Structure 1
Amino acid sequence: MSFLGPLLLLLLLPSSPLTASSPQPSILEYKDTIAKTILSSLERGTLFLERTKGHLKMSTMIYLQILQVELQGVQEAWAVEPVPEPLFEKVRILSERLMNLRSSSFDHLNQSEPVHVQEFLPIIQLGFWKLPHIWTDTNASKVFPTTQFSGFLMQDSSSQCVVELLGTRVKDSQPCSYSPLCEALLTTYDGSDHYLSHQVFYFLLSRMIGCTEGLFKETQHFLDHFCAKMMNLNQKADAERHPDSHQELFMQNILFCGLGGFVDFYKFQWLKTILNWQNPQKGCFMKTDACTTHRTAVAVGALGGFLYVLAKHPEAYERSFQPTSSPNTIAPR
């Protein structure tokens, strides 16, 4: 079946019951269809990236590494609760393709930007990224009043702060280090849009490294606040019908806060929205009228999260089908 077949079927599935008294559909009825549709999208996105592998940047490599971990989590979940063999085989093959893509892209990148690669090497190594074990929802009360704030400085300084955190700047650097400037930049409550993404990414890195002292005693506090703000931004973008300038940020918010354990970013309607943005012929995700590797990599990373949650915690999707919400925290199983 072509990609448009399962996508069309998925887009026709309900996001909520028509009436409170009508029969309530269950995600389990459509689980295989949803998984097949996500995998078809991931295959096409990966094919596009394979064709542009000589032009992939470090950020793209990071998103591909995250997708690799998500697919591994899917395989582990499906080993416990089996799915039709063709679906399991699709994940296995896609994972192998990603391994090859990452390897060849790393060689290109290491030749063109060797210093940059060495500074960020831990982030793209196997075993660095870890999936959440405890899931929760964002809490609107965690959003504190803020003032208008310009985040231009963040773009220039965030890489330096990440390198300090990784401990890769100089030979004797230690992980979990941070300067007063980085602490000020990354803990402000006034950031928005892409600035927020930098902040969440920074504290996700600290969690993956295992930083627990000083500033990082408050990692969960900052993630609670920043991801609650990101949820507000995504809901606003949803209400505004997703202008092109906000689509990449919308997907990045889902990717990062999903990795932070905030399961309410995995809304069924948002999955359908993202799938609808993919160019059906080229497999890419476009910015205005052009395919971009970065936006495509962000998209496949976010979609990998949707697939993992579908495999591991399908009950999270139920809230898109049911009029009532499930408990705030989903325990690991």
Structure 2
Amino acid sequence: MIRLYLALILALASVTASQEEVIDDILNSLSKSASFLESEHENINLDGVVGFFILQAELKEAVRTWPHTDLVSWAQRTTTVGLTKRLDHSLHKAMAALEESDPKYYREFEPLLTWMFWLVPQQWSSTDPSLVYSSTSSMECYDEQLSDKCMTLLLGTWKNNGTPCIVTKACRDTMTRFGCPHYSLSHQLLYFMIGTMKGCSNMLKGDMRASRSNLTERSYQKIFCSNMMKSNQEAFSNGFTGQTQDIFAENILLCGLAGFSDFYRSDWLQHILRSQDQEVGCFGRDERVISQIIGDELLEQLQPHRRVKRKEKTLRDGCSSHMTGVAVSALGGYLNYYLTEQDITKRPLS
């Protein structure tokens, strides 16, 4: 009996030690990314800045709820406090640069540019493979202009002192359409997440389809994330091409932030950590990804309505602003999830 007890203690200690090592890896990666933001705050685009604000919310929640006070854990918490202070300083500068470079776009999405907007999960659930679409469109379901318009109607930034939480039929129909791929799918999820965080109720009001009568906002989130899970599994198994690396990290970020803990796979974490440029601290520096981004920018000049990503920007050394933003906020989600796992009072719901 004593041997069994000792074995259990050693096993638990081993798990704790390995988790502490993983948390160290995450914090080291985020420290490099904070240095990158400090040097590139004048150039990073709005999507990238939003990603760092989501990270800020995740770090502040981690500091607030840090479950242990042993020396190693306390040192990690101290490191996290330092990271939040560095981000506070850099993000203030980044916001000023954004407002100066594109005041209209800045005003439309200003509500997202604060860590206080972003809610960190307090409980967890899992995706459902039975909700995966039988077929998926090979083309994106909508263009960026419609997506932006629908978001600003929720945020109330569609005009000065605009009424928030407006859901038009065009927005509702587009954002609840099944079978959408890639960025259309992730932005459908983001639309419902922003509505929830903004406090919009009855987003589905006016939907008269009998087949959808029992679906709630949370139902749509689960449907979207179940399909995003399938997309990630396929990308991870088949290898990454073009921009699949970017959408892979974006899916982890958004569905993790929506509370679906099965996105926090350890092998996916290792893949994200390996994809960081160790010298510069950014993400998305892969030459094939850079070529795809440059190709998209040329396509945007020729066909402005074909874009499906907001104003991507290739930074110095070929770094992707969007990929860096989604990767760091995905890592922040991993940090909070691992801390939740350490705290037995906050284990995921079965």
Q: TM-score, normalised by structure 1?
A: 0.83
**Aligned length, in residue pairs:** 297
Aligned-pair CA distance for 1:244: 4.8
Query: Which residue number corresponds to residue 39 of structure 1?
Result: 27
| Structure 2 unaligned blocks of 5 or more | 1-10, 206-214, 288-317
Q: Aligned match of 2:348 in 313, 323, 330? A: 330
| Structure 1 unaligned blocks of 5 or more | 1-22, 317-328
1:146-180: CA deviation from partner (whole Å, max 9, x where unpaired):
45353263323100110011111123522211111
Aligned-pair CA distance for 1:24: 9.8
Q: Say if 1:146 and 1:189, in contact at 8 Å, map to a contact too.
A: no
Aligned-pair CA distance for 1:270: 0.7
Q: Say if 2:27 and 2:80, in contact at 8 Å, map to a contact too.
A: yes
Q: Secondary structure at the match of 1:285?
A: coil
Q: Secondary structure at the match of 1:30?
A: helix
The worse-fitting range, judged by mean Cα deviation, of 281-290 and 60-69 is 281-290
The RMSD of aligned alpha carbons is 2.2
Query: Which residue number corresponds to residue 144 of structure 1?
Result: 133
Query: Which residue number corresponds to residue 65 of structure 2?
Result: 77
Looking at structure 1, the residues matched to 53 and 178 of structure 2 have their Cα atoms a distance apart, in angstroms, of 29
Query: Which residue number corresponds to residue 201 of structure 2?
Result: 212
Query: Which residue number corresponds to residue 134 of structure 1?
Result: 123
Runs of 4+ in structure 1 deviating by more than 3 angstroms, as ranges, are: 23-27
Alignment of 1:64-213 (within 5 A): 64-78=52-66, 80-83=67-70, 84=72, 85-148=74-137, 150-151=139-140, 153-213=142-202
Query: Which residue number corresponds to residue 307 of structure 2?
Result: none
Q: Aligned match of 1:29 in 17, 22, 41? A: 17
Aligned-pair CA distance for 1:25: 9.3
Q: Say if 1:74 and 1:312, in contact at 8 Å, map to a contact too.
A: no
1:31-90: CA deviation from partner (whole Å, max 9, x where unpaired):
211111110000111211221111121111211110001101111221x42252321121
Aligned-pair CA distance for 1:314: 4.2
Q: Secondary structure at the match of 1:116?
A: helix
Query: Which residue number corresponds to residue 59 of structure 1?
Result: 47
Aligned-pair CA distance for 1:265: 0.2
Looking at structure 1, the residues matched to 349 and 174 of structure 2 have their Cα atoms a distance apart, in angstroms, of 33
Query: Which residue number corresponds to residue 8 of structure 2?
Result: none
Aligned-pair CA distance for 1:305: 0.6
The aligned amino acid for 1:309 is: Y
Looking at structure 2, the residues matched to 237 and 156 of structure 1 have their Cα atoms a distance apart, in angstroms, of 27
- Give the fraction of aligned pairs with identical amino acids, expressed as a percent: 30
The worse-fitting range, judged by mean Cα deviation, of 166-175 and 276-285 is 166-175
Q: Secondary structure at the match of 1:33?
A: helix
Query: Which residue number corresponds to residue 11 of structure 1?
Result: none
Looking at structure 2, the residues matched to 188 and 72 of structure 1 have their Cα atoms a distance apart, in angstroms, of 35
Structure with max Cα Rg: 2
The aligned amino acid for 2:221 is: L
Q: Aligned match of 2:268 in 259, 270, 284? A: 270
Looking at structure 1, the residues matched to 152 and 277 of structure 2 have their Cα atoms a distance apart, in angstroms, of 35
Aligned-pair CA distance for 1:99: 0.7
The worse-fitting range, judged by mean Cα deviation, of 252-261 and 217-226 is 217-226
Looking at structure 2, the residues matched to 312 and 134 of structure 1 have their Cα atoms a distance apart, in angstroms, of 9
Query: Which residue number corresponds to residue 256 of structure 2?
Result: 258
The aligned amino acid for 1:306 is: Y
Query: Which residue number corresponds to residue 277 of structure 2?
Result: 279
